[in-house]
Amino acid sequence: MNDALSIVLFSGTQDKLHAAGTIAAGAAAMGRPVNILLQYWALDAFRADRIDEDHGLSYDAARPRFNEPVGRVGHIPWLETFRQAKELGEVSILACSGSLSVLGLEQTPMDPLVDDSGGIASFLIAAEGSQLIFI
Amino acid sequence: MNDALSIVLFSGTQDKLHAAGTIAAGAAAMGRPVNILLQYWALDAFRADRIDEDHGLSYDAARPRFNEPVGRVGHIPWLETFRQAKELGEVSILACSGSLSVLGLEQTPMDPLVDDSGGIASFLIAAEGSQLIFI
Amino acid sequence: MNDALSIVLFSGTQDKLHAAGTIAAGAAAMGRPVNILLQYWALDAFRADRIDEDHGLSYDAARPRFNEPVGRVGHIPWLETFRQAKELGEVSILACSGSLSVLGLEQTPMDPLVDDSGGIASFLIAAEGSQLIFI
């Protein structure tokens, strides 16, 4: 096993984006290469025209008190964690070309944090031998 | 680390099923063995009597514009990605026996893509030394 | 790759908690060390004053028949799987200090199953070389 960390980032809510960015920043700070593939709603979250909007919260909390503590959380600085990760180390963020097509986003500008687009096959090749997580 | 890829597939919405199937097909095309364990809602999605129905979308998108682009996505050919994965390589799909029991599905026929049922222990043994993701 | 299993546990619904606890117990029964980091809604679920409440279900099922089989599932004994995991082997459960801060839970007592709190960096260091999943 090599020391890289690979993340398939699927979810587009700010809590999960924050979790992903925090893990990426932590790994980058350890000097580990980090490869991130943006799929589906994470890809939508990184659109240049929407990245600063409120990205909501996931439904992974117990529903009987859905707005508490969910409603207390407020804005989560998820984007800063990805910026920090890139400053700290070698972090690649790719837009998944298959997801771009499914969502009709091929011509939509992405935030400059996104380095390039690429397919799942090339991501999996780059991710071989590394820890791989899906968020 | 060996070159197998192991997936605990928990989610039953078509976007996450599509992401899982795409990753499985990509790994199978590389010649990597793929082991998938179906739990909970993924298991429900592979019921023979429901597999062709609409399996909805996850709530992993920002809620303020929930129906856009979510509503634009339409049908996602997730089942085809699993069929393709099986044609491309060595892909095993197991129904988790614990989840079958929790959901009361022990007697419910599964789609022929599902090879067998088995417990988490045997899955973890087969998955040792491989990349392991939870979707 | 060593034989440890590391879990970033983010979700706080009983179905995903159950999946995580089952995987942890299965790995512990194999004699594998298990490291769990509780983030966000999983952290909220392990609050001492709420751990026995109903933690709901995730929205990872197809919506057209949302209450079936979801409504049939009822109570899932997720907490018992974590207790069992700890009895079976070497299982560490950490509260993520960053999530404690985001959720304002620094002074809130956690269930005794939670061993300590710690940051993402120390978790990633402990998790190096192991299988790592995000739930």
Q: Which amino acid is at A133?
A: I
User: Which subunits sit against B, judged by 3+ Cβ pairs under 8 A?
Assistant: A, C
Angle of helix A78-88 versus helix A14-29 axis, rounded to 10:
20
Average pLDDT, chain B: 90
Is residue C74's pLDDT more than 80? no
- CA-to-CA separations, A46 to A40, A100, B21, B126, in angstroms, rounded: 10, 12, 23, 37
Q: Which of C56, C103, C124 sits opposite A27 (nearest CB)?
A: C124
Q: Which pLDDT value is given to residue A67? A: 46
Q: Which pLDDT value is given to residue C64? A: 41
Nearest residue on chain A to C57, judged by CA atoms? A62
Give the C window 54-93 contacts with A, CB below 8 Å: 54-56, 58-59
Nearest alpha-carbon partner for C73 in C22, C12, C14: C14
Taking the alpha carbons of A67, A84, B58, C10 in that order, is the dihedral positive or negative?
negative
Instruction: Please state, in angstroms and rounded to a whole number, the distance separating the CA atoms of residues C57 and C74.
Output: 9
Q: Which of C44, C98, C130 sits opposite A61 (nearest CB)?
A: C44
Establish if A135 touches chain B: CB-CB under 8 angstroms.
no
Q: Which pLDDT value is given to residue C55? A: 84
Q: Which of B41, B45, B120 sits opposite C26 (nearest CB)?
A: B120
Establish if C30 touches chain B: CB-CB under 8 angstroms.
yes
Instruction: Please state, in angstroms and rounded to a whole number, the distance separating the CA atoms of residues B59 and B48.
Output: 25
Q: Which of A64, A132, A135 sits opposite C54 (nearest CB)?
A: A64
With bands split at pLDDT 50, 70 and 90, how would you rate the model's confidence at C66?
Answer: very low
Low-confidence ranges of chain B (pLDDT < 70): 62-74
Predicted ipTM > 0.85: yes
Q: Which H or E run contains B18?
A: helix B14-29
A98 and B64 within 8 Å at the Cβ level: the answer is no
Is 0.90 surpassed by the pTM of this model? Answer: yes
Q: Which pLDDT value is given to residue B67? A: 46
**Exposed/middle/buried for residue A45 (C-beta within 10 Å: 0-12, 13-18, 19+):** buried
Q: Which pLDDT value is given to residue B3? A: 96
Is residue C50's pLDDT more than 80? yes
Using a CB-CB cut-off of 8 Å, the residues of chain A touching C23 are none
Strand partners, C134: C8
A10 and B19 within 8 Å at the Cβ level: the answer is yes
Is residue C134's pLDDT more than 50? yes
- Give tens-digit pLDDT for B3-26: 999 999 999 989 999 999 999 999
Establish if B8 touches chain C: CB-CB under 8 angstroms.
yes
Q: Which pLDDT value is given to residue C71? A: 56
Low-confidence ranges of chain A (pLDDT < 70): 62-74
Q: Which pLDDT value is given to residue C59? A: 72
C103 and A73 within 8 Å at the Cβ level: the answer is yes
Nearest residue on chain A to B16, judged by CA atoms? A10
User: Which subunits sit against A, judged by 3+ Cβ pairs under 8 A?
Assistant: B, C
Q: Alpha helices of C11-127 — where are they, by DSSP H?
A: 14-29, 40-45, 70-73, 78-88, 97-103, 120-127
Q: In a mutagenesis test of the C interface, which of A131, A132, A134, A135 is the best target, namely the one with the most C β-carbons within 10 Å?
A: A131
Average pLDDT, chain C: 90
